[in-house]
Amino acid sequence: DAGVTQSPTHLIKTRGQQVTLRCSPKSGHDTVSWYQQALGQGPQFIFQYYEEEERQRGNFPDRFSGHQFPNYSSELNVNALLLGDSALYLCASSLGSIPGQAASGEQYFGPGTRLTVT
């Protein structure tokens, strides 16, 4: 059973550039959430995608955008990179709905993409 995968694992970009990060959810999951984790901090919620729509968004500027594809995989795009965008970007998958049951909300994380902006 394939878990959550993310690519690339590491990335170095220059201030002002744009970056795209990718995520494939755990088999059977239809919901993808993205998080930013700075060193020594807990993950901060960026947004969540379900049925190819952004369902909820955290306190992040419009420079952060995303997309979900029909196969449930997802991309996170960050434009006009700032030094402060350097962080570990985590993707988490979950089940948005289970027929006949309430969703559990349990999330499974990928290994993350470590982005360094210089």
Give the residue from 32, 27, 31, 30 showing the smallest Cα distance to 2: 27
- CA–chain centroid gap for 6, Å, is 9
What is the Cα–Cα distance from 110 to 7, expressed in whole angstroms? 10
**Positions 26 through 65 that interact with other proteins (CB under 8 A):** 33, 35, 40-45, 48, 55-56, 58
Cβ atoms of 31 and 38 within 8 Å: the answer is no
Which of 23, 34, 85, 112: binder of other proteins (CB under 8 A)?
112
Q: Least CB distance from residue 20 to other proteins, whole Å? A: 20
Cβ proximity to other proteins: between 40 and 70 the closer is: 40
> Does residue 18 belong to the site contacting other proteins (CB under 8 A)?
no
Binders of other proteins in range 71-110 (CB under 8 A): 90, 94, 96, 103-110
Beta-carbon contacts of 110 under 8 Å, excluding residues fewer than 6 positions away, are 3, 4, 5, 6, 23, 90, 91, 92, 93
Name which of 41 and 77 has its Cβ closer to other proteins.
41
Residues that bind other proteins (CB under 8 A): 33, 35, 40-45, 48, 55-56, 58, 90, 94, 96, 103-112
